[in-house]
Structure 1
Amino acid sequence: MTTVIQNIAAWCGAQTDFSAAAKRLAAEAITDTLACIVAGRADSATLAVRRAMESQIGASGARIVGGGRAAPAVAALINGTAAHALDFDDNFRPGMSHASAVIVPALLAIADLVDASGEDFVKAYLIALQAQAYVGWGVGYNHYVAGWHGTSTIGSVGTAAGTAWLLGLDTDGIARALTLGVSMASGVKGQFGTSAKPFHAGMAARNAVEAALLAQAGLSGKMDILEGEQGLRELYSGGIITDFWDKTPIDGPHVIETTGVVPKRHPCCGSTHMVIDAILDLQAKHGFTADDIARVDTLVGVANWRNLAYPAPVDEMQARFSMQYCVARALRKGVLSLSDFTQSAVDQYAQDPLMAVITMEHYGEENSKKALHPHKVTLWLKNGGQLEGARSVAKGNLGDAFNDADRMEKFVDCCTGLTNASVDGLFVTCETIALQRDLKAIDPLFNA
C-alpha cells in the first residue's frame, strides 16, 4: 500500500501542464508575493536576518532582495522573511498558511540554481500549492487552533514538493524531500506580533530548499511520516485526527481554481480582515463615519482571537495584530495601507479614543474546533442605530476577487521607492512571468 507521501510525489512527478486559468491565477499570486518581498526589504526583521547572514552574501548564487546573492537556502531565508515581514502576503485556508510567502522565495532560489524558465517556475508553484493544500487538509484545521503556525509547518512540507520538482528530482526524490520537510516543520503562533513571525516564513522557505537539496544528495526518512505513528498528523493535529487522506486523492481539481489563495487587501494580520471588510461593506452601504460610532463589537474564531493579542499596541508589529488598532484606522480612513503600520503611525494613532470602544469576543474553543465560523461585527451608532455585518471570507477570494486595478494599486504601494525601473512595466512582466524564458526580467525588483 502506498503512503500519503508517495501518493503526493507520484502526482507531482506526473504533472506536465496546468490549465490556462490555473497558470493565470498562479502568476497573479506570484506577482503579489514579489511585491510583498520588495515592500518588506527594509523591515527590521528582514534586515536582522540579512545581518546574521552577511558573511554568506556575495556576488554569486541566488538573488536576494536589496542586492547581493547567496547560497539558495540563505537567499530563501532572507527573501521569505521579507515576503512576510509586513503581513501583506496572501492567505491560504487549506494550509492554514501564508502559502506564497514560502513558495515563491523557495522556488526563486532553486530557479536561480537551475536557470529555470518562467513557465517551469509557475508549474512548480502550482505543484507546491496543491501539496500544501493536501498536507494541510490532512492534518486538519485544529493544527492551527492548537497554536501551530501553518506557514512554517505545512509550508515546510508542501513547498518541498515544488522545490524538488523544480530541481529536477524524480518521484522518489520528491518523496524524500517531503519526508525531510516533515522533520523540519516548526513554528508556534505564540510568536505573533514579534519579528519571529516573518522569520517563520523565511525559515520554511529555507527548509524547503534544503529538503530538496538533501533529497538530491540521497538523504531520506520514513515514507509514512505524515499518517504513521508519531508522524505529523498524530503529533500536530490538535488532538483531532482527520481521515481526509484515507478518503480523498490528491489528483482532483487544482486548489487554486476551487479554493484559491486570497491576496490581502490590508497589510495586517488576516484574522482582522473579515471584520474590517464587513465594516467597509456597511460603510459603503450606509455612509456613516468614525465620528458616528459609539461602540464596535466583533466576534471571531478562537484561533483568530488568540492571534490578535495586542489591544494597545506599542509598535508596528503589534499594531498588525491588534483588532482595535486595525478597525479604528479602517473606520477613520476607509482603507488601510502600509503607511498605517510604521512606528510613527503607531505613535500617532495608537491613542485614538475609538480603540477603547472596540471589543473582540470569540465563539469558544469547542465551537471553533467543530467548524469555521463567519466573523461578525455590530456597530452601535451615537444616534441610537445599530448595524450588523458578517463575512465568511475576506475580499480577494475567488468570489470577490481583486480586479486588475486592485492588483496594480497594491503592487505600486509595495514598490514605492523603486528608482531603477518602471513599476508599471514590472507589474506587466510579473503577471506574464510564465512567458519569460528565464527570471532575469524581474532582477530590478531585487536590486533596488
Structure 2
Amino acid sequence: MKTVLERIARQLVSRPSFSALAMERAEDAIVDTIACMMAGMNDAAPQSVAAAFATEIKPDGPSLVFTGGRASRSVAALINGTAAHCLDFDDNFHPARAHASAVLVPALLSVATSSNDFSGPMLVRAYLAGLEAQSSVGVGTIPSHYNRGWHGTSTIGCIGAAAGVAVLLGLDEAQISHAMSLATSMASGPKGQFGTGAKPFHAGIAARNSVEAALLAQSGLTGRLDILERPQGFLDLFGGDEAAGWADLSWDEKHVIETRGLVTKLHPCCASTHRAIDAALDLQKEHGFSVEDIQRIDTKVGRSAVDNLAYPDPSDEMQARFSMQYCLAVALTNGGLSLGDFTPQAAIRPEPRCLMAKITMTSYSVEEERGVERLPHHVHIALKDGRRFSTERLHANGAIQRPLTDAQKLAKFKDCVRWSGRQDTDVTYASIKRLCSEDSVKAITDGLFTGRHSS
C-alpha cells in the first residue's frame, strides 16, 4: 500500500492538465504575492534577514532578492518569503490554514529566476502542484494542527511547497515524495510568535526549507515516505487531539484552487480580523452610523482567531495587525484599512483608542466548533440612540464566494507598488502577469527588477 506522501506525489504527476480557471487564479495569486513582496521589501523583518546574510548577497548571484541584489536560491527564498508575509497582506488558504502563496511564490521564484530554463507556464503549473500538496497535507491535520498552536504557513506550507519546487525542477514521482519527506523534518513555527517579526520569518523559513528539501531530493537524499502517518511522524507529533488523518484522502477532478480557492486579502492585517471587519462595514454602509454613534461592539469569532488576536492595546505596527480592537476601530473610522494604518506612528495614535475600548471579542466553545470546519464570525453593534444591529460573515471579501473585483485587485497592486517606494512606472499589473506566460521568468524579472535583460 502506498504511503500518504506517495499518493500525493502520484496525484501531482498524474494530473494531465489544469483548467483555464485554475491557471488564471494561480496567475492572480502569483501577481498578488509579488506585489506583497515589493511592498514588504523595506520592512524591518526582511531588512534584518537581508542584513544577516549580507555577505551572501552579490550583484550577480543566482537568484533575485527583492530587497536588492542576488543570492543563492536558499537565501533568496528566505528573504523574499519574509518580505511576502511581513505586511500580512498576502493571501490565505483555508485547506492548509496557511499563507500558501507567501511560501510557494518566493520558493518557486528563487529557482525560476536562477536560470532561463524556467518558463512562466512551468512556474504556474508548479504553483498549482504545490498548492494541491498543501491542501492534501492539510486534509489530515486541519484544523486540529492549527488550533494546537502550529503556524500552518511554516509547517504544512513547507511540505507542500517542497512538492511544488520539486515539480518545477522536473523531479520524478519518487523524488517528489522524498522532497516532501525531507521538508517534514524541517517543518516548524509556533503561533506564539504572532505579532513579532518572527511571524513573517516563518514564511521565509518555509520557503527556504522547501527549496533545500527539493534540491536535496534531487541529489539523492531520502527520508521515510510514511513520515506523515507513522508513529512519531507528523500526525502523531503535530496533529493535535482531533486530527483526522488521511484515510479519506481523495481528489476532485477540479483543482482545489477552483473548488476551495484562495482568499485574496483586502485588508493588510491578520485574516482573523477580516470577517468581523467586513461584517461591521456592511452594517455601517447599510445603516449609515458614525463611530461617534457607537456605544458598544461585540464580536464572536473562532477559538483560533482569539488566540491569534492577542493584542487589545497594541504598542507597535506588528501587534496592531493582530488586534481586533485596533483593526475594527480604524476600519469603521476610515471606511477601510490601508498599509498606512500599520506604521509605528499609526499604531500608537490616540484617536482609535476611544472606540477600541468599546470592542469586545469572544469565541465559540470547543463543543460548538467540534466537527465543524468553519463557523461564521458575528458582529453586534449597539448605538447610543438605542438601535441594535447584528450580522455575520462566513466568508471574507476576497474569498471565491466574495471575490475581489478587477478594480480592487488593481488598486491593491498599485498601493503595494507605491508602498515599495518605486518611482518608475515599469512595474505594472500587466508586466508582472507577463512572467506567467513568457518563455523565461528570469528574463522578465531581470528587466523589471534589476535593470538588466537576460540574453
| TM-score, normalised via structure 2 length | 0.95
1:1-150 counterparts in 2 under 5 A? Answer: 1-58=1-58, 59-115=60-116, 116-150=118-152
Aligned counterpart, 1:313: 314
Give the counterpart letter for 2:183 in structure 1: G
Tell me the distance in 2 between the aligned counterparts of 1:332 and 1:53.
Answer: 41
Tell me the distance in 2 between the aligned counterparts of 1:422 and 1:57.
Answer: 24
Aligned counterpart, 2:199: 197
Tell me the distance in 2 between the aligned counterparts of 1:422 and 1:289.
Answer: 41
Contact 2:144–2:243 (8 Å) recurs in 1: no
Tell me the distance in 2 between the aligned counterparts of 1:216 and 1:415.
Answer: 36
Q: Secondary structure at the match of 1:326?
A: helix
The unaligned stretches of length 5 or more in structure 1 are none
1:174-195: per-residue Cα shift (whole Å, max 9, x none)?
Answer: 1110100111110000000000
Aligned-residue offset at 1:382: 0.9
1:367-406 counterparts in 2 under 5 A? Answer: 367-371=368-372, 372-406=374-408
Tell me the distance in 1 between the aligned counterparts of 2:278 and 2:449.
Answer: 32
Tell me the distance in 1 between the aligned counterparts of 2:327 and 2:448.
Answer: 29
Aligned-residue offset at 1:14: 2.6
Aligned-residue offset at 1:432: 4.0
Give the counterpart letter for 1:248 in structure 2: L
| Residues 350, 42 of structure 1: alpha-carbon distance in 2 compared, 3 angstrom cutoff | farther
Aligned counterpart, 1:441: 444
| Residues 164, 214 of structure 1: alpha-carbon distance in 2 compared, 3 angstrom cutoff | same
1:182 maps to which of 184, 189, 194: 184
Tell me the distance in 1 between the aligned counterparts of 2:310 and 2:449.
Answer: 34
Tell me the distance in 1 between the aligned counterparts of 2:350 and 2:102.
Answer: 29
1:293-321: per-residue Cα shift (whole Å, max 9, x none)?
Answer: 11100001111001000000000000000
Give the counterpart letter for 2:133 in structure 1: A
Tell me the distance in 2 between the aligned counterparts of 1:183 and 1:280.
Answer: 43
- Does residue 420 of the first structure (1) align with residue 424 of the second (2)? yes
Aligned counterpart, 1:222: 224
Tell me the distance in 2 between the aligned counterparts of 1:201 and 1:294.
Answer: 39
Give the counterpart letter for 1:368 in structure 2: E
Tell me the distance in 2 between the aligned counterparts of 1:103 and 1:445.
Answer: 21
* Range with greater deviation from structure 2 (305-314 or 343-352): 343-352
Aligned counterpart, 1:325: 326
2:153 maps to which of 151, 154, 165: 151
Tell me the distance in 1 between the aligned counterparts of 2:172 and 2:350.
Answer: 54
1:366-415: per-residue Cα shift (whole Å, max 9, x none)?
Answer: 43343222110100011100000110111011111011101000000000
Give the counterpart letter for 1:277 in structure 2: D
Aligned counterpart, 1:300: 301
Aligned counterpart, 2:170: 168
1:131-158: per-residue Cα shift (whole Å, max 9, x none)?
Answer: 0001011122110111000000000100
Tell me the distance in 2 between the aligned counterparts of 1:296 and 1:370.
Answer: 29
Q: Secondary structure at the match of 1:247?
A: coil
Give the counterpart letter for 1:50 in structure 2: A
Contact 1:27–1:433 (8 Å) recurs in 2: no
Q: Secondary structure at the match of 2:145?
A: helix
Aligned-residue offset at 1:291: 1.3
Q: Secondary structure at the match of 2:401?
A: helix
Identity %: 51
